[in-house]
């Protein structure tokens, strides 16, 4: 524990408001998180742009061009799971307030503006559960009482801290066992044809129940990880099966129920099969009319692959009227000894930069909070979260992943447009946005062991900057 820095002044470096006054764009304020330093989202300097002209090949540069704009940014957030809610409930009251402020306060926190939660149980629940009785195809027994103990209070606390509005989308891990061909919540299995309508009705019942509790539901995904046969809650859909379920059951049922405006997210699995899934769904006009976007995770790396951002670009190019949304990612195989491991945050930085540059409009982390074991998880699939609660002493541990996410979520405003940011060195990765108030947000990540001096170049003017080893920087250009 002595190696873990926990201090009451955690948010002293987060006092920068994200509502910024538009000024002539000749200066930049810099915020830095860097390995081996105390800087965590810390204001670390101001830069002035001066005439620079043509760079030469030996000069490292980040080129910014706000005359070219792309997708509209919606928000960044995390999943409010059973596990997060149960750990939250164990915290002392002052730590509960600290956590909510850390995530959802736009001034003294990192300004989360999006949330996801599970429909019935998932692996990050203390046990399996459903909302309906055995063989109740009419859903007369439907009841969300289970969620009132932990999950609903957390969602409401987060929403209040976010200013009373927190777009929430919901995802199922499995239909009730009796609706499936393997008669089990776990180990995959498929939805039985005779229960397709009952299952479509189940989404509507869940949304109605949550909204009756004062929690508006912005959207839903069809199925979490529909190609994964897991030892926890799971259900398999081929691309054709998901297409047909959307077209013939779920889409029409949402419309008939007055929920046609809900954002329906398909796939909700890894980038590797993303184009095959998206093309099968979206080439069918009758199915595509119901689909708002394609959701994806980052776990294609389990096969030994790198993150496959090119697959996102192929979908964006082929179906530009649909949205890309990152719906889940976490670092697996929890080990308490690794809470200070700098690679945790760098995985987030790599994904967020790559995903946004490929056209992603929204980005959702997995559990916002887990305990000192990486759970609770009823099948032992223990993982990292950006914030870990040590329930043995009631403390909160902020991994560098929390700060790396904050380099985006704290400064990007809903409605921002991605603009061009181009690096001439692969050691510096970058993305950029123009906020609705006119400020430019440029994020630069250095994953190397070297300090890199570079020029932040825009329209023939440049400002000299220094990127520390294993660092993340956000430049606010005003």
Q: What is the DSSP string of 191-205?
A: B-GGGHHHHHHHHHH
The whole-number pLDDT of residue 170 equals 99
* 410 token code pair: 């704290």
- Size of the chain, expressed as the number of residues it contains: 478
Bridge partners of residue 324, in order along the sequence: 294, 360
204 neighbors 253 (Cβ within 8 angstroms):
yes
Mean pLDDT over 287-301 rounds to 98
pLDDT at 11 over 90: no
pLDDT at 165 over 90: yes
How high does pLDDT run on average in the chain? 95
Q: Collapsing DSSP states into helix, strand and coil, what is residue 441?
A: strand
Instruction: Count other C-beta atoms under 10 Å from residue 85's C-beta.
Output: 24
* 342 token code pair: 């700098």
The whole-number pLDDT of residue 18 equals 37
41 neighbors 33 (Cβ within 8 angstroms):
yes
171 neighbors 296 (Cβ within 8 angstroms):
no
Angle at alpha carbon of residue 108, lines to 83 and 14, rounded to 5°: 110
pLDDT band at 379 (very low <50, low <70, confident <90, very high): very high
pLDDT at 2 over 50: no
Percent of the chain clearing pLDDT 70 (strictly above): 95
Mean pLDDT over 129-142 rounds to 98
Q: What is the reported pTM?
A: 0.94
**Any catalytic annotation for residue 328?**
yes
Taking only the tens place, the pLDDT of each residue in 238-288 is 999 999 999 999 999 999 999 999 999 999 999 999 999 999 999 999 999
First-residue to last-residue Cα distance in the chain: 41
Write down the catalytic residue from 225, 233, 242, 300.
225
63 neighbors 328 (Cβ within 8 angstroms):
no
Q: Collapsing DSSP states into helix, strand and coil, what is residue 19?
A: coil
Closest to 71 in 3D by CA, of 407, 434, 404: 434
Q: Which domains does the chain have, with CATH numbers?
A: 27-71+419-477 (2.60.40.1180), 75-414 (3.20.20.80)
pLDDT at 409 over 80: yes
pLDDT at 465 over 50: yes
The whole-number pLDDT of residue 8 equals 36
pLDDT at 14 over 70: no
**Any catalytic annotation for residue 242?**
no
56 neighbors 343 (Cβ within 8 angstroms):
no
The whole-number pLDDT of residue 13 equals 42
* 391 token code pair: 């329930």
Mean pLDDT over 113-126 rounds to 98
328 neighbors 79 (Cβ within 8 angstroms):
yes
pLDDT band at 25 (very low <50, low <70, confident <90, very high): low
The whole-number pLDDT of residue 136 equals 98
Write down the catalytic residue from 86, 242, 328, 346.
328
304 neighbors 315 (Cβ within 8 angstroms):
no
Taking only the tens place, the pLDDT of each residue in 189-238 is 999 999 999 999 999 999 999 999 999 999 999 999 999 999 999 999 99
74 neighbors 51 (Cβ within 8 angstroms):
no
Comparing 11 with 383, the larger pLDDT belongs to: 383
Taking only the tens place, the pLDDT of each residue in 314-367 is 999 999 999 999 999 999 999 999 999 999 999 999 999 999 999 999 999 999
Angle at alpha carbon of residue 233, lines to 85 and 221, rounded to 5°: 75
Residue 36: C-alpha distances to residues 3, 466, 469 (Å): 13, 16, 9
273 neighbors 227 (Cβ within 8 angstroms):
yes
Q: How far apart are CA 115 and CA 160, in angstroms?
A: 13
pLDDT band at 87 (very low <50, low <70, confident <90, very high): very high
Q: How far apart are CA 66 and CA 235, in angstroms?
A: 44
How many H helices and E strands in the chain?
A: 12, 21
């Amino acid at each position: 524990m002595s190696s873990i820095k926990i201090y009451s002044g955690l948010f002293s470096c987060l006092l920068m408001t994200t509502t910024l006054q538009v000024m002539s764009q000749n200066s930049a304020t810099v915020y830095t998180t860097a390995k081996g330093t105390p800087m965590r989202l810390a204001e670390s300097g101001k830069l002035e742009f001066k005439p620079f002209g043509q760079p030469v090949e030996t000069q490292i540069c980040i080129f910014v061009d706000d005359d070219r704009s792309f997708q509209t940014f919606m928000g960044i957030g995390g999943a409010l799971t059973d596990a997060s809610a149960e750990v939250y409930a164990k915290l002392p009251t002052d730590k509960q307030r600290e956590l909510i402020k850390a995530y959802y306060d736009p001034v003294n926190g990192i300004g989360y503006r999006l949330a996801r939660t599970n429909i019935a149980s998932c692996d990050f629940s203390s046990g399996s559960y459903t909302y309906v009785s055995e063989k109740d195809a009419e859903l007369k027994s439907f009841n969300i009482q289970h969620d009132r103990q932990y999950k609903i209070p957390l969602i409401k606390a987060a929403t209040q801290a976010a200013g009373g509005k927190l777009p929430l989308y919901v995802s199922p891990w499995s239909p009730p066992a009796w609706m499936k061909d393997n008669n089990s919540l776990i180990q995959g299995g498929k939805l039985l044809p005779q229960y397709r309508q009952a299952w479509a009705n189940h989404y509507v019942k869940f949304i109605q129940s949550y909204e009756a509790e004062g929690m508006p539901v912005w959207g839903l995904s069809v199925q979490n990880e529909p190609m994964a046969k897991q030892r926890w809650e799971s259900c398999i859909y081929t691309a054709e099966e998901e297409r047909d379920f959307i077209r013939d059951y779920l889409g029409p049922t949402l419309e008939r129920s007055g929920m046609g405006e809900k954002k329906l997210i398909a796939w909700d699995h890894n980038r590797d099969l993303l184009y095959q899934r998206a093309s099968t769904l979206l080439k069918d006009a009758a199915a595509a009319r119901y689909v708002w976007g394609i959701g994806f995770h980052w776990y294609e790396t389990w096969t030994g692959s790198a993150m496959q951002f090119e697959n996102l670009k192929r979908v964006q190019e082929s179906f530009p009227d649909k949205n890309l949304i990152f719906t889940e990612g976490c670092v697996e195989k929890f080990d308490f000894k690794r809470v200070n491991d700098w690679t945790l945050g760098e995985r987030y930085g790599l994904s967020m930069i790559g995903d946004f540059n490929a056209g992603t409009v929204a980005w959702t982390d997995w559990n916002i909070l887990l305990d000192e074991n990486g759970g609770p998880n009823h099948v032992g699939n223990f993982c990292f979260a950006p914030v870990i609660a040590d329930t043995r002493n009631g403390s909160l541990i902020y991994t560098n992943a929390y700060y790396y996410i904050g380099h985006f979520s704290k400064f990007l405003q809903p409605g921002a447009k991605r603009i061009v940011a181009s690096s001439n060195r692969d050691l510096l990765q970058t993305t950029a946005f123009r906020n609705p108030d006119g400020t430019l947000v440029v994020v630069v990540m250095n994953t190397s062991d070297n300090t890199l001096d570079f020029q932040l170049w825009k329209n023939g003017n440049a400002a000299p900057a220094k990127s520390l080893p294993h660092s993340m920087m956000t430049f606010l250009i005003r």
